[in-house]
Amino acid sequence: MKNKLLKNSIIYILGDTLNKATLFLLLPILTRYLTPEDYGLISIFTVSISVFAIFTGLNIQGAINVNYFKLTKEELQVYIGNCIVLLHISTLFVFIIIGLFHSFILENLSLTIEWLFVAVLLAYGQFLTTINLILWIVEQRPKEYSIYQILQTVIITALTLFFVIVYDMKWEGQFLAITLGTLFFSIVSFIFIVKRGYLRFTINKAYIVDALKFGIPLIPHALSGVMKTGADRIIIMSILGSVATGIYTVGFQVGMVIGVLVAAFNKAWAPYLFRVLSNSPTIKDKVKIVKFSYLYFVGILIFAFLFSYISTLLIPIILGESFVSSSELIIYFAIAFAFDGMYYMVTNYLFFIKKTDVLAYVTFGVSIIHLFLLVYLIKLNGLLGAAQAGVISYAITFFLVWYLANKYYPMPWLQVISLKENNK
């Protein structure tokens, strides 16, 4: 299991790194063709997709992840079928809401009603792709997962370059590339799900209730995530304008390298942890998990500092003069994502015991605090204030969730520290 965990972790990290590296390598090119204002609009569009995805998917994809180990293949087919039925109903509801309240929604956004509807459609498509990717994760098939994601990124990147550089379509070019690429791969994902025998449409009320019971309490949790990574763009747009939003977005994308690494590792770690916890682990097993977690905490923080230092030196060369001011934001983004990686290590326990309601209360509560921090610190320190608010929010979330995870699923966190002190 240890060898397989290491192997899968390396594949996920390499795959996600290559995937995001494509976007990172695209930055020096696009920053020469797109203005900070263009980047601001692109950022708002992607944030809109993320918000709509919460209400179209209802976070029920996580229930598929957990129930994979608890249901037979035939039962899982029906479960996924019911999840897709829920997807259609919720997406229709979101379309209706957008149609009724679009004037209010667009008041602080520089988008049109047409692009809002497209964003909802893309949120729907992303859910199908997410199911396909989740199935590869729980099957412990990191190669297929990584290749699929890289192909999707490469195609969207190629389309972006084509529309932006060849046709000089500016921000509309990237909008169109994201739309075509996302819809194409959502169709392919659906075909994969069907071909691999994971889909059967038989209405099962128990499965619908189970999926909603798992997903709906996570809506505040998911919203809190968007608030931490999306509300900042909206608030910056309203206070400092689209140019500042674009500079902030580019800095965020560079710092996101840490986020990619921690998320990639968690894809390998979570199935391994769930498997160990499902087999009634001994105290010895728990001590090993805790020791590894502490080592991870220290390692990811050190790496975040090293990464931010190197990035600060290289960014002026890579991004060009228009975006050079984004370099001073990277240290904050790197540390924030390091805390996010530590959060993954402790939140898995709450997912395992399905205490998602508790998780939702914490993360949503912190997201409200984050909004106040954003407004206050942006007015105080400008763009730096927005990045500083992110570090504070991610740190608070990690420590609170760590406390709750230990409360509902006790692990020998303090005992391991005591053992280390005694050994000294």
Instruction: Output phi, psi for 197, to 5 deg.
Output: 75, 35
- What is the model's pLDDT at position 76? 92
> Whole-angstrom Cα distance, residue 421 to residue 54?
45
Distance (Å) of CA 382 to CA 228, 232, 388: 17, 12, 10
Q: Residue ranges of the domains in the chain?
A: 2-423
- The rounded Cα 411 to chain-centroid distance in angstroms is 26
State which H helix or E strand residue 74 sits in. helix 73-105
Report pLDDT digits (tens) over 117-133: 999 999 999 999 999 99
What distance in Å separates the CA atoms of residue 101 and residue 379, rounded to the nearest whole number?
30
Q: Helix axis angle, 283-319 relative to 413-423, nearest 10°?
A: 90
pLDDT of residue 108: 64
- Tens of pLDDT, residue by residue over 30-87, are 777 888 888 888 888 888 898 899 999 988 888 888 888 888 889 999 999 999 999 9
The answer to whether residue 20 scores a pLDDT higher than 80 is no
Q: What distance in Å separates the CA atoms of residue 133 and residue 197, rounded to the nearest whole number? A: 15
Residues 404-409 have a mean pLDDT of 92
- Whether 175 and 119 have beta carbons less than 8 Å apart is answered as no
How does 231-253 read in b/e, with b if 16+ C-beta sit within 10 Å? bbbbbbbebbebbbbbbbbbbbb
State residue 3's pLDDT score. 66
CA 131 to CA 117: how far, in whole Å? 22
Token pair 């909206």: residue: 234
* pLDDT tens digits for range 3-12: 666 677 677 7
Max CA separation in the chain (angstroms): 67
3-class DSSP state of 254? helix
Answer yes or no: is pLDDT of 190 > 90: yes
Q: How confident is the model at residue 1 (pLDDT cuts 50, 70, 90)?
A: low
pLDDT attached to residue 320: 67
Tokens linked to 356: 């998602």
User: What per-residue confidence (pLDDT) applies to 125?
Assistant: 95
> Has residue 346 got a pLDDT over 90?
yes
d(CA 424, CA 419): 9
Reference 271, options 352, 197, 193; nearest CA is: 352
Chain CA centroid to CA 32, Å: 27
The token duo for 266 is 């968690």
For the cut 80, the answer to whether the pLDDT of residue 384 exceeds it is yes
The mean of the pLDDT values for the chain is 86
Geometric angle at alpha carbon 325, from 323 and 377, rounded to 5°: 125
The answer to whether the beta carbons of residues 400 and 363 sit under 8 Å apart is no
> Using an 8 Å Cβ cutoff, are 175 and 42 in contact?
yes
Q: Across residues 102-113, what is the average pLDDT? A: 75
Residues in the chain: 424
C-alpha dihedral, 151 to 152 to 154 to 159, nearest 10°: 140
Quick check: 364 pLDDT over 90?
no
Tell me what pLDDT residue 2 has: 57
Percent of the chain predicted with pLDDT > 70: 93
Instruction: Compute the C-alpha angle 99/105/108, nearest 5°.
Output: 150
Residue 115 corresponds to which amino acid?
Answer: W
Of 128, 271, 283, which Cα lies nearest the Cα of 190?
128
The one-letter amino acid at 360:
A
DSSP element (H, E) containing 412? none
Q: What is the pLDDT of residues 311-331, one digit of tens each?
A: 888 777 777 666 778 888 999
C-alpha span between 303 and 258 (Å, rounded): 8
pLDDT score, position 367: 84
Burial bucket for residue 39 (CB in 10 Å: 0-12, 13-18, 19+): buried
Q: Name which of 256, 236, 255, 235 is nearest 245 in CA terms.
A: 236
Average pLDDT of the segment spanning 349-359: 83
Two tokens, residue 204: 């099962």
